[in-house]
Structures are given as structure tokens and as C-alpha cells.
Amino acid sequence: MLRVPSYLLRVQLEDRPGSLGSLAVALGSTGADILSLDVVERAAGYAVDDLVVELPPGAMPDMLITAAEKIKGVYVDSIRPHTGLLEAHRELELIDHVAAADGRLEQLQVLVDQAPKVLRVGWCTVTRLTDAGPERVVGSSGAPETVAAETPWLPIHRAEALDATADWVPQVWRDMDTTLAAAPLGEPATALVLGRPGGPEFRPSEVARLGYLAGIVATITG
């Protein structure tokens, strides 16, 4: 059976009546089917939305960009392959799965394995600053083999987007245009780190969401 490709399309559009409808019509004209929509950020005059879109077999994702940006006030921030629908309840499911795991190390492994889908990133790790330097405690399956030799941003006291062009960032991460964000995980010397190869940049609302999730998990893992 031929698998229907799906993509995660992040768009910025004018926050006015009818703008989302116009976008849906434009995407539909390419044969695309919108499966879900998630509001990432809303500010004065504009909104940033994530749409999961299915394309007919053989259709190119560039068609989505062309169709969307024909509409006045619409800008495509990024498009990337996607598996699994965006559902708000997945954060609660992740927290439940972490709580059900046996022991702190297993809980952290569950966290990094499931966080990429929930937070829409490529990989996730838990990193700790020790007397000998930074140490990767656990990492998701997509985490790069190359580990940062320095983490001058640790200790960390609040969730924040990290400077992905800084000297401490391994060259292989920079070559993949990886954007980064981190949040304290129970203590300033331990952080939950997110990597998004190819971008886009982390929005303030995404950073806040990371901090919220890390805070809850920290109370569970102890």
C-alpha cells in the first residue's frame, strides 16, 4: 500500500477573519488535505500556526509553499516531513508515561524518547554539568553522536532558546543548521535540551512550553 506523505507546515499569517480559510482553500487547490492545526503563537496583527498536511502521492512539498505564499500576508516559516498528528493531550500522555517508568534514569529516557514528537523537534537530551565537564545523561534516538565539549550556558535557571551559532556548538550541529533550546530539569546544572535540525527558530511560546513541561517532569523524577 502506497504511503501518503505528510508534512508539518509552519506559517505566519495576518490575524484577520478569513485568512485561515483562504490558506485552506489555497492548499486544497494543490490536492493537499489538512489533517490538523496547532496555534503556536498569536500576537498583535499576526498568528503562527502549524498545519499537518497530506499530499497526494508524487506531489512535491514545494507546491505547498508556492500556494500559501500567493496569499497576501502569508509567509511559510518552514516545511518538514511529519509523522503523527499534533494533539494537545500528548503532553499529558508523556507525563503519565514518565511517572509510570521504573526509576529516574528510565523516566528520563522515556522523556527524551517521547519529547521530540510532543515538542516538534528532531532530538532531545538531558545534559548535566559535572566537575569534569558536561555529560549527556540520556538522549533520544535522533540525538547526534557528537556531544558538546563545553556548555557555558550551564547552569541554567529558566527555559530559553540557545545561540546555535556560538563557539561551543559542535560544528556538525551548525552544519545541519540546528536550532537549540533548553530548560532546567530540577536543578540549574541539569537541563532538558532540544535540537531542531534545519530550524525553524524556537518561538517564545515554544520555549515557555518547554519550561512548563520540564518543571512538571522535574517534580516527578525528583
Q: Where are the domains of the chain?
A: 6-81, 90-221
The predicted model gives 160-164 an average pLDDT of 97
Could you tell me the sign of the dihedral formed by the alpha carbons of 177, 183, 185, 190, in that order? positive
From 81, 85, 68, select the one nearest 12 (Cα to Cα): 68
Q: Vertex 161, ends 159 and 162: CA angle to 5°?
A: 115
DSSP string, 22-56: HHHHHHHTTT-EEEEEEEEEEETTEEEEEEEEE--
Out of 57-61, 143-147, 148-152, pick the least confident.
Answer: 57-61
Q: What is the pLDDT of residues 9-62, one digit of tens each?
A: 999 999 888 888 899 999 999 999 988 888 888 888 889 998 989 888 888 899
Residue 207 backbone phi and psi in degrees, to 5: -65, -40
* pLDDT band at residue 76 under the 50/70/90 scheme: very high
pLDDT value of residue 171 = 96
Contact 113, 94 (CB under 8 A): no
| pTM score over 0.85 | no
Alpha-carbon gap, residue 77 to 75, rounded angstroms: 6
pLDDT higher than threshold 50 for residue 86: no
Alpha-carbon gap, residue 26 to 13, rounded angstroms: 13
Fold of 6-81: Alpha-Beta Plaits (3.30.70)
Give helix then strand counts, H and E, for the chain. Answer: 6, 9
State the Rg of the chain over Cα. Answer: 19
Domain 90-221 is in which class? alpha beta
pLDDT value of residue 125 = 98
The predicted model gives 155-166 an average pLDDT of 97
Alpha-carbon gap, residue 19 to 15, rounded angstroms: 7
